[in-house]
Amino acid sequence: MSDFVKLDKLTLAYGDVVAVPDLSFSIGKGELVALLGPSGCGKTTTMRAIAGLMAPKSGSIHIDGRDVTNLAPSKREVGLVFQSYALFPHLSVYENVAFGLKMRKASNIRERVEEAIASVGLSDFTNRLTPDLSGGQQQRVSLARSLVVEPKVLLLDEPLSNLDARLRLEMQLVLKDIQRRTGVTMIFVTHDQSEALALADRIVLMKDGVIVQEGSAEEMYNAPRTRFAADFFGFENIFPGDDGQDRAWRPGAITLGDGPFEGQIRGMSFGGDYRTYVIDTERGQIKGAVRADLPSYKEGDKVRFDLPMAQAVALDAG
Ligand SMILES: Nc1ncnc2c1ncn2[C@@H]1O[C@H](COP(=O)(O)OP(=O)(O)OP(=O)(O)O)[C@@H](O)[C@H]1O
């Protein structure tokens, strides 16, 4: 079902200030979708509306065929994981995860809680108080607590941003694994394109409350359509062509050492496999990346370069 979650013409405002005008998109059952965009573009506001923490000014929200626009948060079958973990500090991992089920007077509580704790890899910590866990572990408790009530949709707001690089990778694997095993539909918010690329089946890129492009990770990475999307996905060189159309190149797509143009090396940053050079040219500054095992340039060197058309992505206006 391609519209398991369906937002239709949603307008979201704080008082008179419209944060998200007329937003529509749909998400398939079991999909893992990233809402991506810079700070202030309306990602969190959109999540709050799906969760029922904010009433839309107009438009509707459907989940699994049911109009939830005017339903209370607790009636929507939506789980929420925020970057601040909001766990009960005086309760153990077990008690934190069991809380929602106990409130609902559910059956098989022990079994379900233990399964949820195992699914996030915390079985060895079941009886520990949550303040005695690392940030990454607390994040996983928060995830287990949301999962245990078997929501139809799991909303995750910047779920990885408080974690260091290694834990982030670990958490990405946990999330992917949960998606595979439970088939839960997940929407997560991030401002980090690499996180969206790593995790999402589909990326919805937003700017000023409006969707500028959506597509698979590959589509977004390889074929951004606008200057904004190109810039967001690391096409650091964007120039107008003679035909008036903007074209974009990644630093690695610039040929250095040969070509019709000339520039002067302004600076270099070493990135392990590559050195990235900032080069002053007649067109302004460009960035070119060269494999680190090739000879390097130094500041002030004159260098020839090319902007190969075959490597360029042509952009729409706007
Ligand atoms: N409580 C509020 N009152 C008034 N305006 C708000 C409120 N919360 C958010 N906004 C405004 O709504 C817009 C969207 O904010 P939102 O938090 O949804 O963005 P975001 O993309 O999630 O950003 P971030 O990544 O910084 O969290 C911004 O212009 C913001 O200033």
Report whether 159 contacts 174 (CB < 8 A): no
**Nearest partner of 139 among 172, 101, 98, judged by Cα:** 172
Sheet holding 302-306, edge to edge: 284-291, 274-281, 255-270, 302-306
Rounded to an integer, the average pLDDT of 190-213 is: 94
Q: What is the residue whose two structure tokens read 């494999």?
A: 291
Pocket test for ligand 1, best of 14, 161, 211 (most atoms within 8 A of CB): 14
pLDDT at 171: 84
Distance 213 CA to ligand 1 centre (A): 20
Rounded to an integer, the average pLDDT of 101-124 is: 91
Distance 19 CA to ligand 1 centre (A): 7
What b/e sequence results for 139-172 when a residue is b if at least 16 CB atoms lie within 10 Å of its CB, and e otherwise? bbbbbbbbbbbebbbbbbbbbbeebeeebbebbb
Distance 45 CA to ligand 1 centre (A): 6
Quote the percentage of the chain above a pLDDT of 70: 98
* pLDDT range class, residue 85, cuts 50, 70, 90: low
pLDDT of 247 strictly over 70: yes
What average pLDDT does the structure give for the chain?
92
pLDDT digits (tens, 9 = 90+) for 5-32: 999 999 999 999 999 999 999 999 999 9
pLDDT digits (tens, 9 = 90+) for 222-246: 999 999 999 999 999 999 877 888 9
Report whether 267 contacts 238 (CB < 8 A): no
Beta partners for residue 10, in sequence order: 23
Ligand 1 site, residue 45, Cβ cutoff 6 A? yes
pTM for the whole structure: 0.89
ipTM of the complex: 0.93
The domains located in the chain, with CATH, are: 5-227 (3.40.50.300), 241-314 (2.40.50.140)
